[in-house]
Structure 1
Amino acid sequence: MSERSSTRVEGAQGPMHTGSGNMYVTVGPDLGDPGRPSFRRIADDQLTWLRRVLVAPSGMGAARAELADTGTVILDGLPGSGRTSAARVLLRESHRDSGVFRELLPGEEGELSLTDPGLVGSGDRLLLDLSASDAARWAAARSGLPALRKAVHDQQARLVVVMPHGGVLESDLQRNRVVIDDPPGVNVFRRHLRMHGLPCEQYLRPDPTVDDFLRERRPMREIADFADLVRRARGATRAGDGFPQWCATALRSRADRRNDVAVLVARLRESPQRALLITVAMLHGAHADVIHRATQLLLGVTGSPPEEVPLLQRRDLAERLTEISAETGPDGHVRFTELDYDSAVRTHFWDHMPDLRQHLGVWTAHSVDLDGTHVTRGLRDGMVTQLAGQYLRTAHGEELASLAEEWSSTSASRAGLEAAVQALTCGLNDPAHGRHFRERVYQWCANRRLRGKFAQVLVQVCADVIASSHPDQALLRLYYLARREPDTTHALRALCELVDTSHRLRRRLLNRLAGPALSPAELDIFLSVCAPGPLTDPYDNGRALVEESAVRGALTACWRDVLGDLPPSGWQSQARRWLHTAAVGDRLGGILLDVLVDAADRCGSRRGAAFAALYASARDAECTAPFGSACAAETTDLLFQKICAAQGLGRPTTPPQAESARETES
């Protein structure tokens, strides 16, 4: 992470201070859990899994060759043929030491135009999925493809475009087009079963259920889902059942069960019965103790009166579970006796009791705060995911977003904040609603007044969810959050960590900061991301960021505001790092000094004071120079010469601070 000139204390028992500068004390629940895998790592794991389960479709070899030869391939094929999965695997196979995997979303807030050369970083692996685009969006993308392909070539990157089936393609792009055809369905099915750990002697035998399922053409996603149902049926069926029984159970679970559930609900007239049915559906597989406590919570949230029957005369949980076709297993966890019955129950209550929806949101918020041995992070996330799935399935994404904001705007617990993160994650990862949620997050970050701990939730989803595949959008949203956070540095730290992953992102942030005048918050952002190491670190063909004229201009503009608006105590720590780096003695060190001197030279009426403060900082830096005071003294002397040259003077014997003092006296 970039070093800063301030001191942060997190999770402290009380306030403390270790030196000059600002002090930030973070109090309250912190979502940064080092024991939890980040979504960036999860995204990489998903690409790895996809590569393992993909059966290469017809045309995959030609696509690999075209991508290796030209850096660009355009995939075409029927919907459901696995085009998008093939595209992601092609990019996963192109992994290099430099660059990142990113999905391009032209037209969204925070995304650069396809014609902007700053869109492509060295070695980047870019996916442009337009498989579901209409004619207008596809035409707009095609107009930008020539410039994008050139940038990809110049940066030695890789680009895979998934075009809409039957879309128009210009003649000069036809050579990059490769048609993807469905691989054999039975091979796809067996590959997924093998990756799920099923014994090959089971699924390699002919099975009439599988043959019947694969008789007609199926989309690759549907075959993968059926294989997953077989895996789950294996874990849920009785001992002694084999592969034919697992497949039959999986096929039955695909049947429409709306009528069955409707009949069951009509038979269960009492509130405790229906509350138990809903709870098992939302917390399917949870321990019986959790089911009992959550059921009581639901009865309370919906205003059901407490039972008046004496405790020992009430029906026990085993009897009540039998009424709803559920049971407690040997491990004490509760499941329906039929596979995927929980999904049908959730759908029924959501569709046919709309007045219950608001209560389910309140109940979920209370349930995630339950504690105990059997209440795990995975259980909480699963419950939120089931609720979010109903909102998204019925196109009520706006209500889900508002619910997440409400959960974290009050005095939320850590579990409540994690639930809000999970709800927004579900929306952001949903293919149909992801764009709306990214826009909603942008509006929150840039324009809305954020209450409670909601800013922490937004930092989490930007840094871990959006940044995993859309880092430019995450950069913009974290930048707005960092400008607005008054008492914490959550957004600033996440922003620094993000730009540390990419020279391209650091360049883009510096260009954004180089505006008319930096606000106090933007000054803090700049001082946090302008560490000299990343600026002088060679990349691509050995070039460093500070060698680029546009980057030097941005650095000069920002340092001008720093030197002109902040007292020396606010920036000397970062200036000391610049001076220590410059003391190495190479050409890049001279560029760093030029930037500092040029910035001071533009400080107007404070020009003399800025020169004096820079010189004083250089003298002070000699005491802590990592390469010795003699080398640092030479750097100070070189800085002095550059200051004199900027003032149009020969080398005077009077140091800048004395000159500044005489100017002030006169």
Structure 2
Amino acid sequence: MTDAPDPPGAGGTGDYYNTTFHFHGSEPPPDFMSARNTPPRQVADQQLSRLQQRFARPTGINDAYDTLERHNIVFLYGTPGNGRTTAARVLLRELPRGSGVYQELTPDADGQSPEPLTPELIGEGDRMLLDLSDAKEDVWTRCHDRFPGFHKVLLDKRSFLAVVLPHAHADGLSPDFAAYRKPVNRPDDLEVIARHLRLRGVDPGSLWHAPKELTDYLTEKPPMRELASTADIIVDACRTAKPEDSFADWCRQAIAAATIRAEEVNDFLPDLRAGSQRALLLSVAMLHGAPADLIHRAAAILRGSLRIAGDDRPLLEHESLTERLREVGASRNDEARVHFDKLRYDHAVRHFFWRNMPDLRRPLRDWVEQVLALPQFPEEGRKDVVVRLAELCALTEDADRLAEPARDWALRYGDPARLRAAADWLGWGVRHEDEPTSRHFRQAIYSWAIRPVEPDLRRVLTEVCVNVMASTHPEQAVVRLHHLARREPFDEGSAKNSARHVLLRLVEMDTRLRLHLLYRLAFMPRQRRPGRQRALDAWLFLGLLTMPSRPEHIFLQLSSTRLWLSMCWIDVLWGFSSRSWLPHVQRWMTTTDAADDPELVHLALDVLVDAAAENYPALRQIYLTARKSLSAEKTEWLLSRIEEAQRRRPPRRADPEKETRT
């Protein structure tokens, strides 16, 4: 990507907006952000590929595929927990892929954003998912009314849409689309588990002879999400099994781990009366798989924070760490990492303490904050601890408060380890497989982004938007990055990691995202935008114009998108001095002059004339620039358009001061 233009006013004055932008020369703070080398769309496609590999095809799914392929749209319904959304993703993945991209439309559009079913945002050959499984009646009605017009655009652009119907309104589909409504039946449970196991490198052998414990468990018809978790436990059982154990033994151990471990902890804990023993037990559970020295140090911190008396005997009379671990049912492996001897025992211990000792919850959260900052904590293990604590909080916290710990960490600490932990916490929530939980996290990030935030929190939110949310909800990532960019100082932080530069790098990868940002830049309510934010929006628009292949054909082909371009040019031409915008006008004209399509040339010049129609100084500068940049024929055509615009709407002169500066 060509570098974005310098911020308006950088290095001098001359902007009409009552603000001056500049960068300080101070060194940026330490960069905690992880660089993404893979575009978000490619990450999403890789995730779809893995999903397809472990997808067990239910009966009737081929009929749904045929409907989608022939008619470009399909509506899926079925019992919640049957994997309706997964089926929709796989169907879209299986379609022949051309120039289009896969994208998940969000029904609850936030901020000043276009509706999810906006025709201008459809690319040629796009494959789209609209998950309405949790949609409320007003959202369902709004989307339902747009299906007829949207379907026509799908056919014209050879694009595809799979809609997951809300269970409460699955029978309320218009008769016009009744033939495109297809069920998603429950797949074979054993096949679901087998596919998960094979993908993880475990050969299940013949599942026709699965142990009774597994078949009894499957008769309860657990949700597909729970089946995947059970398969993961079987994999863990395989890796810790004895050489003589069979697949049936692994299944029995996994079912036992999922059903009776809590009872074992309940029976075992009363025998551990000493606070030091329980502190070690909880430390092992929270840091399961961590180095022994780290667990020893973490247990000591937990004892201190809970005011548990230490061993006052001479050091050589203390019990060894191996002995103390054995007392709590744990041991060290050959790599000096600590594990419980029983499968999934760590999970049961964590849940026991959290549910049965409510007063311990806040101290435990504070303890995790301290442990994350320990220098001996391996980088690869930090995220596991953050996720374990987040999963515990999800058991008891209200969903709308679940994101608060990450905000607290980002505001209270400035060290990279805890900022990274805050990003991991929010990333866990955004990626959560439960859509309402993910939605709460995305809404929390939005509510923080629309207000001025501290630099550290802004960096965390920027990181989560570009490296997590952009893979699953890219349009929502654009919305949040836009709000962050409009409120960040120009003299703060590293330029490459500022929200404005991250935003431009993100939308560069995807034409749909560029259109999404262009819409926002054009239609953000002007009466509610301070001058500085309007200037930043105009600067972002100029950044869009620095991207390759300008002016974009797709931007110019539709009258609506040409209107968006003109509205953004109006802000630029009225807002900045000609010194700021003339190079961009010249680049626009140079690119236009190289186009072979006369219609495209006319449309591109129309955009500039429409934007400057009421700005006489800008019209004059545009014409003078055209004489230097365009052929005589095109310059003559531009002059005729300017004269036509003047006859239709006499230009309004800028005030004397502005005209002089221009």
Instruction: Return the TM-score normalized by structure 2.
Output: 0.84
CA deviation string 1:69-115 (max 9, x = no partner)? 11111222333333222111111112634333333332342464465
Amino acid at match of 2:568: C
After superposition, the Cα gap between the structure-2 partners of 1:121 and 1:302, relative to the gap in structure 1 and judged at 3 Å, is farther
- Matched residue, 1:334: 338
Summarize the alignment of residues 79-118 of structure 1 with structure 2, pairs less than 5 Å apart. 79-94=80-95, 96-110=97-111, 112-113=114-115, 116-118=118-120
2:486 to 477, 483, 486: 483
2:320 to 316, 319, 323: 316
1:589 offset after TM fit, Å? 4.5
CA distance in 2, matches of 1:534, 1:363: 53
Amino acid at match of 2:69: A
- Matched residue, 2:470: 467
- Matched residue, 2:508: 500
1:288 offset after TM fit, Å? 1.1
1:389 offset after TM fit, Å? 0.6
Summarize the alignment of residues 145-184 of structure 1 with structure 2, pairs less than 5 Å apart. 145-165=147-167, 167-168=170-171, 169-184=173-188
- Matched residue, 2:246: 242
1:635 offset after TM fit, Å? 4.8
User: Is the 8 Å Cα contact of residues 613 and 645 (structure 2) preserved in structure 1?
Assistant: no
1:290 offset after TM fit, Å? 2.0
Q: Which moved more, 1:34-43 or 1:287-296?
A: 34-43
- Matched residue, 1:385: 387
- Matched residue, 1:527: 542
CA distance in 1, matches of 2:38, 2:638: 49
1:596 offset after TM fit, Å? 3.7
Summarize the alignment of residues 399-478 of structure 1 with structure 2, pairs less than 5 Å apart. 399-430=401-432, 431=434, 432-446=436-450, 448-478=451-481
Q: Which moved more, 1:40-49 or 1:350-359?
A: 40-49
After superposition, the Cα gap between the structure-2 partners of 1:179 and 1:614, relative to the gap in structure 1 and judged at 3 Å, is closer
User: Is the 8 Å Cα contact of residues 560 and 602 (structure 1) preserved in structure 2?
Assistant: no
Corresponding position: 1:3 with 2:13:
no
CA distance in 2, matches of 1:497, 1:188: 39
The DSSP-based 3-state class of the residue aligned with 2:294 is helix
1:172 offset after TM fit, Å? 2.7
Amino acid at match of 2:68: L
The DSSP-based 3-state class of the residue aligned with 2:548 is helix
After superposition, the Cα gap between the structure-2 partners of 1:28 and 1:107, relative to the gap in structure 1 and judged at 3 Å, is same
User: Is the 8 Å Cα contact of residues 392 and 433 (structure 1) preserved in structure 2?
Assistant: no
1:442 offset after TM fit, Å? 1.3
CA deviation string 1:537-596 (max 9, x = no partner)? 44xxxxx31243333333333223323332344334433432432342543455444444
Q: Which moved more, 1:244-253 or 1:123-132?
A: 123-132
User: Is the 8 Å Cα contact of residues 272 and 278 (structure 2) preserved in structure 1?
Assistant: yes
1:380 offset after TM fit, Å? 0.7
The DSSP-based 3-state class of the residue aligned with 1:80 is coil
The DSSP-based 3-state class of the residue aligned with 2:403 is helix
- Matched residue, 1:622: none
- Matched residue, 2:551: 536
CA deviation string 1:152-182 (max 9, x = no partner)? 3333221112224573144332211222323
Amino acid at match of 2:176: D
Corresponding position: 1:577 with 2:577:
no
User: Is the 8 Å Cα contact of residues 117 and 143 (structure 2) preserved in structure 1?
Assistant: no
- Matched residue, 1:563: 573
CA distance in 2, matches of 1:633, 1:162: 52
User: Is the 8 Å Cα contact of residues 41 and 101 (structure 2) preserved in structure 1?
Assistant: no
Corresponding position: 1:198 with 2:199:
no
The DSSP-based 3-state class of the residue aligned with 1:159 is strand
Specify every segment of 5 or more residues in structure 2 that has no aligned partner in the other structure, as ranges. Answer: 9-20, 647-655
Summarize the alignment of residues 229-378 of structure 1 with structure 2, pairs less than 5 Å apart. 229-372=233-376, 375-377=378-380
User: Is the 8 Å Cα contact of residues 284 and 346 (structure 2) preserved in structure 1?
Assistant: yes
Amino acid at match of 1:298: L
After superposition, the Cα gap between the structure-2 partners of 1:371 and 1:228, relative to the gap in structure 1 and judged at 3 Å, is same
CA distance in 2, matches of 1:581, 1:422: 43
Q: Which has the higher contact order (CA 8 A, sep 6+)?
A: 2
CA distance in 1, matches of 2:358, 2:38: 36
User: Is the 8 Å Cα contact of residues 276 and 310 (structure 2) preserved in structure 1?
Assistant: no
Amino acid at match of 2:103: R
- Matched residue, 2:559: 549
- Matched residue, 1:654: none
- Matched residue, 1:509: 517
User: Is the 8 Å Cα contact of residues 275 and 308 (structure 2) preserved in structure 1?
Assistant: yes
Q: Which moved more, 1:78-87 or 1:163-172?
A: 163-172
Amino acid at match of 1:6: D
User: Is the 8 Å Cα contact of residues 597 and 643 (structure 1) preserved in structure 2?
Assistant: no
Corresponding position: 1:602 with 2:603:
no
Corresponding position: 1:189 with 2:182:
no
Specify every segment of 5 or more residues in structure 1 that has no aligned partner in the other structure, as ranges. Answer: 9-20, 539-543, 620-631, 651-659
After superposition, the Cα gap between the structure-2 partners of 1:583 and 1:3, relative to the gap in structure 1 and judged at 3 Å, is farther
Count of residues in Structure 1 that have an aligned counterpart in Structure 2: 619
Q: Which moved more, 1:239-248 or 1:296-305?
A: 296-305
1:308 offset after TM fit, Å? 2.7
CA deviation string 1:18-73 (max 9, x = no partner)? xxx95466611334423676765554333211110112110111111111011111
Amino acid at match of 1:104: L
User: Is the 8 Å Cα contact of residues 285 and 334 (structure 1) preserved in structure 2?
Assistant: yes
Amino acid at match of 2:642: A
User: Is the 8 Å Cα contact of residues 532 and 577 (structure 1) preserved in structure 2?
Assistant: no
CA distance in 2, matches of 1:437, 1:649: 49
1:384 offset after TM fit, Å? 0.5
CA distance in 2, matches of 1:81, 1:90: 15
Amino acid at match of 2:506: L
Q: Which moved more, 1:479-488 or 1:391-400?
A: 391-400
User: Is the 8 Å Cα contact of residues 261 and 344 (structure 2) preserved in structure 1?
Assistant: no
After superposition, the Cα gap between the structure-2 partners of 1:643 and 1:409, relative to the gap in structure 1 and judged at 3 Å, is farther
1:233 offset after TM fit, Å? 0.4
Corresponding position: 1:646 with 2:642:
yes
The DSSP-based 3-state class of the residue aligned with 2:163 is strand
After superposition, the Cα gap between the structure-2 partners of 1:214 and 1:356, relative to the gap in structure 1 and judged at 3 Å, is closer
